[in-house]
Amino acid sequence: DDDGLPTNIIVEGFTENDGVFETTIEVPFDIRELYMQIAFFGIKNAGVINPSSGNAVLRLGQGVQQSFAKKTFKQTPKKFSVDTSIYSPNILYMGTWDSRGTPDYLAADTPVPADVLISLNNALPEEVSVFTYHPEYVATGNETNAVTIGEVDLSVIFLHEGTGYPNSFGYYTYPVGNPPATEEDINLNIIFPHVEYEVFSDPTEPWWHTILPGNTVSLGTIPANTEVGWGLLFDSFILSNSTIDPGYYQLYSDPQYNEVVDPAEQQHMVMIKDLAINKVFVGFEQLRRDNYLGKMNDDFNDIVVFFDADSLDLTDVPPVETPPDCDNDGIPDYWDEFPCDPRCSYIIISDYKTLAIEDDWPTMGDKDFNDLVISYKTEKWFNSSNEITDLFITLLVRAAGSDKNNGFGFELNTLESNIKNLTGSQLTTGNIQLSPNGTELGSSNAVIIVFDDVLSLISPIGGATTVNTQEGYQASPIDTINLSIEFDRPLSDLQLNPFIFVDGERGREIHLNNYPPTQMADNSYFNTVDDASDTTMGIYYRTADNNSWALELPLFWEYPFEGRFIDEAYYHYNDWRTSGGSTFTNWYISGYAVQEYIYKPYGLGKGK
């Protein structure tokens, strides 16, 4: 989008019980980067994947997240410290830091066990408002400071940041019941000068690690009967010179010191306890809740640290609560798009793809790839195990540049018996035999015939002899088909094998390059006329010079008008074809089209 953030979700899911999420993503060859965002503490929350082929295998968990880190800082870090009098007399420093803002005074890293991660992810999940799901965390009378009962050696362990700003985090102390009179009386000791996982100061420089989960700072020995408060300096670390200033504003665990006027909006920090693991967690909301800088999400996890609960008075500290889960599928309601339906947990909707097909196989034909043009998108429903339970397909039948009564369908990578419910097919000829569940009879795999005569769905008008392929003729309305498929047993992945059958001849199937025919196909057409298939090698529907009869493009494609070869209409089609798909992988984009050879509807919108 305009902010450089991704807009289309192509895959999402939940980790399994072992903490691992693994999937294979079908990636268009022209896509060079996939943006990854993770809503789980302890795993870096964003990164970029560079797919090397048409598929990307994504595996997260068990420490694998380290492979998504950017290049590490190669230079010898310079040391910086600041005289407190330069900026503010109440900002104090525990030591020096390097140019990234990583403290030189870090203690040995503290291992972050799974129970800590699970507890925090249940307590303060990403993009989930505390006020909606855990109002008890912000109830009046809650303690927000660490109050010591006896003398305690206190170490603070960093766990997570979701800020996007170079904030600083620190602490202050005062005797129990004797708080500072004003904000100016607070002495804020900086624990973490720069709380961002990774930053860069110049596009030509590598990314730098700044802070990682488990980084630990010892605060030393805190006397008994002391309150330890917490402070955040918003946007305070200056990357150009690696110094700290007070930032745009300051936020404290004692809400009365915050600059927000409305008392109902002053609290910006929660402290919660999990006595089962002897931990206390602190979470900050970094954006002022009076909309001073715009919208905030109130998830209170922009900076999260934790420490041991020993020798602290936790009487008024709320406990971590078990997240609500109406359907008991293991997915909290706030992440579950079907909170009370155990069959389903989330939805992924694809962008439109376009199928463009020549129907003269095994003769190559005129290569205008408009004999049948269908754009379609899928909506997949997943359960908590990332399996597909339901599939919805929206198909737009856009063009029929042929006088043949062609049919269209697709084969699924599941048995015919696994289709529980199927609706939406448009069958009019009576020539397709169906099983009781609506799939085609005679195939072991599920074969769904979407329609058996395209000219019963769309037809030429205004003197045209074909549908939406002749320039200057009135455009015919496109036809929309909505398929609904419910699986008896969920699928771990989905593979569609689309095809047409020519002019009512069910056995004369035309598939995408190297996609196999169904059991209903007449294989006698292979290796005749222009077809150079080698079925023993898994090569199907290809000519000797690497032409195909069917194309699938990852967009709402602009196709050639009648009689114009595709290599006339698209500058780089032949470059792509002759290279075996290794060059000009985005040959199909509008910028590579010869516009005078591209069909443009006359008198009707495209229907997108």
Hey, which residues does 192 pair with through a beta bridge? 169
Whole-number Å distance between alpha carbons of 501 and 78: 69
Q: Does 157 reside within a domain?
A: yes
Give residues with Cβ within 8 angstroms of 199, minimum separation 6.
100, 166, 207, 208, 210, 239
Contact 407/500 with Cβ under 8 angstroms?
A: yes
- Domain match, 180 and 267 both: yes
Neighbours of 38 (CB within 10 A): 17
Q: Does 338 reside within a domain?
A: no
- Domain match, 20 and 159 both: no
- Domain match, 369 and 432 both: yes
- Domain match, 376 and 454 both: yes
Return the minimum-mean-pLDDT range out of 23-27, 52-56, 533-537, 541-545: 52-56
Whole-number Å distance between alpha carbons of 219 and 188: 12
- Domain match, 274 and 389 both: no
Contact 20/62 with Cβ under 8 angstroms?
A: yes
Predicted TM-score (pTM) of this structure? 0.80
Q: How far is CA 162 from the centre of its chain?
A: 16
Considering its fold, how many domains does the chain have in total? 3
Whole-number Å distance between alpha carbons of 65 and 197: 13
pLDDT the model gives residue 82: 41
Whole-number Å distance between alpha carbons of 546 and 534: 13
Compute φ and ψ for 518, nearest 5 degrees. Answer: -85, 175
- Domain match, 282 and 167 both: yes
Q: Does 329 reside within a domain?
A: no
Whole-number Å distance between alpha carbons of 279 and 398: 60
DSSP character at residue 7: -
For 360-376, write each residue's pLDDT tens digit: 999 999 999 999 999 99
- Domain match, 190 and 52 both: no
Q: State mean pLDDT over 455-474.
A: 95
Whether the pLDDT of residue 83 is over 50: the answer is no
Distances (CA, A) of 422 to 89, 389, 392, 393, 425: 71, 13, 10, 11, 8
Hey, which residues does 574 pair with through a beta bridge? none
Which residue would you say has higher pLDDT here, 124 or 80? 124
| DSSP-derived secondary structure for 378-403 | EEEEE-TTS-EEEEEEEEEEEEB-SS
Q: Indicate the average pLDDT of the chain.
A: 87
- Domain match, 48 and 96 both: no
Q: Does 82 reside within a domain?
A: no
Whether the pLDDT of residue 525 is over 90: the answer is yes
The residue to which tokens 């300096």 are assigned:
233
- Domain match, 201 and 61 both: no
> Domain range holding 444?
346-597
Whether the pLDDT of residue 201 is over 90: the answer is no
Q: Quick one: 214 exposed, middle or buried, by C-beta within 10 A (0-12, 13-18, 19+)?
A: middle
Q: Does 325 reside within a domain?
A: no
Residue 197: pLDDT band with limits 50, 70, 90:
confident
Q: Does 608 reside within a domain?
A: no
- Domain match, 170 and 265 both: yes
pLDDT the model gives residue 79: 41
Residue 70: pLDDT band with limits 50, 70, 90:
very low
The last residue of one of the domains, among 67, 98, 117, is: 67
Return the minimum-mean-pLDDT range out of 109-113, 122-126, 381-385, 512-516: 122-126
Compute φ and ψ for 116, nearest 5 degrees. Answer: -70, -45
Looking at 426-554, list the stretches that DSSP marks H as alpha helix, in order from N- to C-terminal side: none
| DSSP-derived secondary structure for 93-136 | ESS-EETT--BTT-BSPPP--HHHHHHHHHHS-TT--HHHH-GG
- Domain match, 455 and 573 both: yes
Q: Does 15 reside within a domain?
A: yes
Contact 498/410 with Cβ under 8 angstroms?
A: yes
pLDDT the model gives residue 421: 97
Give residues with Cβ within 8 angstroms of 100, minimum separation 6.
73, 77, 194, 199, 208, 209, 210, 242
Q: Does 604 reside within a domain?
A: no
For 558-584, write each residue's pLDDT tens digit: 999 999 999 999 999 999 999 988 899
- Domain match, 188 and 228 both: yes
The last residue of one of the domains, among 11, 34, 67, is: 67
Whether the pLDDT of residue 115 is over 50: the answer is yes
Task: Give the residue from 373, 413, 331 showing the smallest Cα distance to 128.
Answer: 331
The last residue of one of the domains, among 289, 308, 327, is: 308
> Tokens in use for 116?
């800590």
